[in-house]
Chains A and B, each alone.
Chain A
Amino acid sequence: MQPLLAAAVYLLCFATSSGCAFLLARGYLRSGARLLLWSSICFTFLALNNLMLVLDLLVWPDLDLQTLRLVTSLAGVGVLVFGFIWDQEEEA
């Protein structure tokens, strides 16, 4: 892939994931649905992951943030799955 196109893909990943986090957070503030809270936290971490991707591959190519990037994604989806299981316990 052309470097410019690759850069566009990384930046769009960051922009779209940030957009998701924002819309989900707004949805949570409006409705108070906890599912939206867990989802918005998850997408915030995924947006952070994509920001690191941009920094890692475009801004500082010599830097290796691979493990840190994985940890942020893990934190995001970990919070989401934790939230689902936790809320289910409260329902029961």
Chain B
Amino acid sequence: MMLYTFLSGMLVTLFFVAALFFLRFWARSRDPLFLSFACTFCLLGLGQSLLALGRFAVEERSWVYLVRLAAFLLILAAIYGKNRGRSSR
């Protein structure tokens, strides 16, 4: 359990660090794709925090994975939007 808590903490930190990097890229370039990446990694960090902190029973845990799913859907939509914008130009 201690290893799980330790690794979870590391993972959450790295998710938020990655989000900060993307936020800086966005501040430099104003490309909305980077903002989507930043939001995605914040959501992934949030989802992992909830899993580590909220002692959910296994059958309740699947709600938390909706946060993760939202993160992936957000970035898929952003990449799709970017590709479409490029091809219509």
How many residues on the B side are at the interface (Cβ–Cβ under 8 A)? Answer: 32
Decide: A66 near B4, CB < 8 A? Known: A13-B69, A74-B14, A84-B21: yes
Do B14 and A78 touch (CB < 8 A)? Answer: yes
- When chains A and B are docked, how far (Å) is the Cα of A42 from the Cα of B19? 13
Closest to A1 in B: B62
Contact between chains at B7 and A67 (CB < 8 Å): yes
Interface size class of A (residues with CB under 8 A): 20 to 34
A66–B65 alpha-carbon span in the complex (Å):
14
Q: Is the CB of A13 within 8 A of B11?
A: no
Selected A-B contacts with CB under 8 Å, 25 pairs: A1-B59, A1-B62, A5-B62, A6-B59, A6-B65, A9-B66, A9-B69, A13-B65, A13-B68, A16-B69, A19-B76, A20-B79, A24-B79, A39-B37, A67-B4, A70-B11, A74-B10, A74-B11, A77-B11, A77-B14, A77-B15, A77-B18, A80-B18, A84-B18, A84-B21
